[in-house]
């Protein structure tokens, strides 16, 4: 493996960032309309860019990098469109990118005419590979290029009718010697000479992510400690995802002193993309930190994103993916359903297994939390039947329910819809007829000898046994006891093992559900479910259903 070489770690025996925690959200800057847009197969049209811009404003972004106006007529015209048509709210700062060349800087300022506040993002590349191979310039020449660019921006800013903030990026910072990166950034700050109430943004990009996040954090902490006029510098990071660690690197960078994060929605951007600001913001939210962004309708954000970029969000994408709050595993389903029940009963701090945040807080439906396939268990089916159909299946009935649903899933060979789960439950358990069918039942109070006080009941019922109608009667302590005694008269011997009931809906016409487990004469125990407007009739139907189940 001599072809590749690891990035040298910084010798930092006094690093402090590992002992810190994120306590507040950073300043967010969306670069979707520039960095994300330039990485699209089909760049956004002006109409799509405007729609995306308005969505970013609605979500709460107050710094938005909109384009590279000196690089193309389309970007220049879009900048003018935003300003001339009044699309930029007073509390939103637009940011544009430019190289450190006089004619490009002047054209950038011309594009910004009338902007009340804007960030001019100046950059040049600083890594050894860029200096030596691409530009063939010395360190001093690279510093001079950056300083000259800053002074040209300062000169144009003095003529601009509005506030201009300088942002400087040593492109390829992650591959630049940290001492040199500090030197060039300090030279830019000193050249700009920020006044007491003025700040310069120094943006440190991992233009190519080449090391683990802890190495990037060490680089940021070095800059945080050594850069000139640190109190007048906003330290910003712009991480890329070449190693899949852009979010982690940006979060560790905050521990190391970064105050601002540039990134994109859902991590769009060149190559593997940038830091995903949706993930970062909701990481804050999950820790009880106000993300300073409104993410209560993530579906809306995803819809606009997909329409404008023609890209889709992965079903496994953190927080936003279709499946990230979904459990197919039986043990996960059981834990989630119990956790939700506990939270609904007690409230307080969110503490539901497998769900880092409440899906409802980002506009997600609870319908998708538990989904059933052949890998699912009894708990998931019971949850769906209760949440969406009102059936509170007893815990003891779980194994029979799970087996029935699994058979249906195996037969279909795919995920079961909620309606299919209910239909399987109905066919397998509810109001079953077959070998024994209930036609009618009537109960009358039974009285003790020589007293008018009722004691127990008499029942008269009409049942169909193997196709033949039979009239039966019996007496007992209650309707079920009397009915089981009546069944014995026609050689159907059953013993009730458990029973529960509940109302299915509110109101005078409410339905009732009863669940009964009986041991039949053959020694087999089965659950049955009865549904009726009358709870007594529902319980008898549950017993008959249990008799008829295979």
Find the mean pLDDT for residues 11-35. Answer: 94
Residue 444 has a pLDDT of: 75
pLDDT value at 17 more than 60: yes
Residue with tokens 């601009």: 160
CATH of range 26-309; options 3.30.750.24, 2.40.70.10, 3.20.20.70, 3.50.50.60: 3.20.20.70
Domain 436-548 belongs to what architecture? 2-Layer Sandwich (3.30)
Tell me how far CA of residue 223 lies from CA of 99, 143, 216, 257, 264, in angstroms: 23, 16, 11, 9, 24
Are 113 and 102 a contacting pair, CB within 8 Å? no
3 state DSSP class of 529: strand
In the predicted model, is pLDDT for residue 508 greater than 60?
A: no
Place of tokens 């970062």: 280
79 confidence band (pLDDT: 50, 70, 90): very high
Whether residue 352 is predicted with pLDDT greater than 70 in this model: the reply is yes
Please report which confidence band the pLDDT of residue 232 belongs to, taking 50, 70 and 90 as the band edges.
very high
Residues 6+ apart with CB under 8 A from 245: 209, 212, 213, 239
Three-class secondary structure of residue 430 per DSSP: strand
pLDDT, tens digit (0-9, with 9 covering 90-100), for 39-74: 999 999 999 999 999 999 999 999 999 999 999 999
Picking from 219, 255, 253, 259, the residue whose alpha carbon sits closest to that of residue 239 is 253
- Name the pLDDT band for 507 (thresholds 50, 70, 90): low
- Per-residue pLDDT band for 377 (boundaries 50, 70, 90) equals low
Please check the confidence at residue 526 and state whether its pLDDT lies above 90. Answer: yes
The arithmetic mean of pLDDT across residues 314-337, rounded, is 88
Closest by CA position to 137, among listed 124, 156, 151 = 124
Location of structure tokens 């299946």: 393
pLDDT digits (tens, 9 = 90+) for 430-462: 999 888 988 899 887 665 554 555 567 899 999
Residue 379: per-residue pLDDT: 74
- Note the pLDDT of residue 4: 84
Q: At 505, is the pLDDT very low, low, confident or very high (cuts 50, 70, 90)? A: confident
The distance from CA 44 to its chain's CA centroid, rounded to whole angstroms, is: 26
Give DSSP secondary structure letters for 353-415.
Answer: TTBSS-GGGGT--GGGTB-BSTT--HHHHHHHHHHHH-----GGGHHHHHHHHHHHHHHHTSP
Give me the DSSP letters along 161-177: SSEEEEEEEEETGGGS-
pTM of the model: 0.83
Most confident option among 128-137, 263-272, 486-495, 510-519: 263-272
**Where in the chain are the domains?**
26-309, 330-428, 436-548
125-164: buried (b, 16+ CB within 10 Å) or exposed (e) per residue? bbbeebbeeeeebeeeebbebbbebbebbeebbeebeeeb
Using alpha carbons, list the distances in angstroms from residue 46 to 56, 63, 92, 487. 15, 19, 19, 78
pLDDT, tens digit (0-9, with 9 covering 90-100), for 422-431? 999 999 999 9
d(CA 277, CA 183): 30
pLDDT digits (tens, 9 = 90+) for 462-487: 998 888 899 999 999 889 999 999 99
- Averaged pLDDT score across all residues of the chain: 92
Among 28-32, 179-183, 436-440, whose mean pLDDT is lowest? Answer: 436-440
- Which of 250-264, 307-321, 388-402, 500-514 comes out lowest in average pLDDT? 500-514
Please give the CATH number for the structural domain made up of 330-428.
1.10.287.1400
**Could you write out the DSSP letters of every residue in 173-230?**
GGGS-HHHHHHHHHHHHHHH---TT--EEEEEEESS--S-HHHHHHHHHHHHHHSTTG
Given a contact cutoff of 8 angstroms between Cβ atoms, the answer to whether 479 and 457 are in contact is yes
């Amino acid at each position: 493996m001599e072809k590749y070489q690891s990035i040298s770690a910084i010798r930092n025996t006094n690093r402090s960032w590992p002992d810190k925690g994120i306590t507040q959200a950073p300043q967010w800057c969306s670069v979707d309309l520039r960095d994300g847009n330039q990485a699209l197969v089909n760049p956004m049209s002006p109409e799509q860019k405007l729609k995306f811009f308005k969505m970013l404003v609605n979500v709460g972004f107050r710094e938005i990098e909109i384009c590279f106006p000196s690089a193309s007529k389309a970007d220049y015209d879009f900048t003018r469109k935003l300003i001339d048509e009044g699309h930029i709210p007073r509390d939103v700062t637009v940011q544009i990118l430019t190289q450190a060349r006089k004619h490009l800087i002047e054209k950038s300022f011309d594009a910004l005419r009338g902007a009340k506040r804007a960030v001019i993002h100046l950059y040049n590349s600083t890594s050894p590979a860029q200096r030596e191979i691409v530009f063939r310039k010395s360190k001093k020449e690279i510093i001079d290029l950056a300083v000259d660019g800053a002074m040209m921006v300062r000169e144009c800013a003095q003529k601009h009718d509005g506030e201009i903030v300088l942002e400087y990026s040593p492109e390829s910072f992650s591959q630049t010697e940290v001492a040199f990166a500090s030197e060039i950034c300090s030279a830019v700050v000193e050249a700009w000479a920020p006044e007491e109430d003025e700040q310069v943004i120094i943006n440190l990009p991992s233009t190519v992510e080449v090391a683990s996040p802890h190495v990037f954090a060490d680089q940021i902490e070095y800059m945080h400690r050594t850069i000139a006029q640190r109190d007048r510098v906003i330290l910003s990071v712009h991480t890329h995802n070449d190693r899949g660690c852009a979010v982690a690197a940006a979060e560790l960078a905050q521990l190391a002193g970064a105050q601002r994060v540039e990134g994109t929605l859902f991590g769009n951007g060149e190559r593997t993309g940038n830091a995903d600001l949706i993930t970062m913001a909701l990481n804050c939210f999950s820790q009880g930190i106000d993300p300073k962004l409104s993410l209560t309708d993530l579906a809306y954000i995803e819809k606009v994103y997909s329409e404008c970029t023609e890209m889709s969000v992965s079903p496994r994408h953190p927080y936003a993916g279709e499946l990230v709050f979904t459990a197919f595993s039986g043990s996960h389903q059981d834990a989630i359903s119990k956790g939700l029940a506990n939270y609904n009963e007690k409230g307080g701090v969110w503490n539901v297994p497998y769900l880092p945040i409440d899906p409802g807080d980002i506009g997600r439906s609870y319908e998708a939390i538990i989904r059933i396939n052949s890998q699912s268990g009894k708990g998931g089916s019971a949850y769906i039947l209760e949440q969406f159909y009102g059936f509170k299946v007893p815990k003891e009935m779980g194994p029979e329910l799970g087996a029935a649903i699994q058979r249906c899933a195996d037969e279909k060979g795919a995920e079961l819809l909620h309606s299919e789960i209910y239909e399987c439950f109905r066919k397998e358990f509810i109001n079953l007829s077959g070998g024994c069918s209930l036609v009618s039942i009537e109960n009358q109070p039974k009285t003790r000898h020589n007293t008018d006080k009722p004691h127990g009941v008499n029942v008269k019922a009409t049942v169909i046994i193997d196709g033949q109608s039979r009239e039966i009667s019996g007496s007992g302590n209650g309707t079920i006891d009397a009915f089981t005694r009546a069944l014995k008269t026609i050689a159907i011997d059953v013993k009730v093992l458990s029973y529960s009931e509940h109302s299915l809906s509110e109101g005078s016409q409410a339905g009732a559900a009863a669940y009964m487990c009986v041991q039949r004469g053959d020694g087999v125990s089965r659950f049955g479910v009865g549904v009726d407007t009358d709870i007594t009739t529902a319980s008898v139907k549950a017993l008959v259903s249990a008799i008829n189940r295979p």
